[in-house]
């Protein structure tokens, strides 16, 4: 009986000390990417895009997020809730299409902002497309999201400048 208890304890310890390194390959969990909680909490709250800049912006039109011209995003309002990675965004600029939508977002350890724009009545987990932007120059009251655009075969940065509103 004593040997049985010792063997049981050994087997329990063997499995209890199993490595927690995530699996690699096709069976790996989708959520294996670690989140940057500190950056996410810093973005919590209400924000407004104060400017959108990119090389040649006075001559080129860029359709941002498949919604509207990038300049229509100036003045848009964004709300980020960090504890559940949800929020909303709304375009209200005169002369631009009116648009409002819930969003799902996160910031990964590589400093990339993952954004899904969710249509009303649709669950975020069913949305198969989204946007990946670089987070830059993050302070308590400002940050930037940088997207890559193709201009005549060259990759250029389009920068969305955010300012905290509350």
Distance (Å, rounded) from C-alpha 151 to C-alpha 149?
Answer: 6
Q: Answer yes or no: are the C-beta atoms of 75 and 83 closer than 8 Å.
A: no
**Per-residue confidence (pLDDT) for residue 6, from 0 to 100:** 36
**∠ Cα 155 106 20 (to 5°):** 110
* Closest to 156 (Cα-Cα) out of 46, 66, 70: 70
CATH 2.40.128.280 assigned to 29-164: yes
Lowest pLDDT segment from 6-15, 57-66, 113-122: 6-15
- Residue 113: band (very low, low, confident or very high) from pLDDT cuts 50, 70, 90: very high
Q: Tell which residue, 39, 66, 69, 42, has the closest CA to residue 54.
A: 69
pLDDT tens digits, residue range 68-111? 999 999 999 999 998 899 999 999 999 999 999 999 999 999 99
83 vs 144: CA distance, rounded Å: 21
Specify the DSSP class assigned to residue 25: S
Using a cut of 0.85, tell me whether the model's pTM lies above it. Answer: no
| pLDDT score, position 75 | 96
Domain ranges of the chain: 29-164
Residue 115 pLDDT: 92
Closest-CA residue to 64 (of 75, 52, 56): 52
């Amino acid at each position: 009986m004593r040997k049985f208890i010792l063997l049981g304890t050994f087997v329990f310890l063997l499995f209890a000390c199993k490595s927690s390194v995530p699996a690699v390959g096709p069976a790996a969990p989708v959520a294996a990417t670690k989140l940057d909680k500190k950056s996410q909490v810093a973005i919590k709250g209400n924000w407004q895009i104060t400017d959108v800049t990119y090389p040649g912006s006075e001559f080129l039109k860029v359709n941002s997020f498949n919604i509207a011209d990038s300049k229509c995003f100036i003045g848009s309002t964004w709300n980020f809730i960090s504890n559940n990675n949800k929020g909303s965004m709304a375009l209200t600029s005169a002369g631009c299409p009116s648009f409002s939508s819930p969003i799902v977002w996160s910031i990964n350890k590589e400093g990339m902002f993952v954004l899904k724009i969710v249509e009303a009545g649709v669950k975020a987990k069913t949305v198969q497309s989204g946007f990946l932007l670089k987070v830059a120059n993050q302070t308590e009251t400002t940050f930037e999201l940088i997207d890559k655009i193709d201009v005549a075969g060259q990759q250029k940065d389009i920068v969305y400048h955010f300012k905290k509103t509350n």
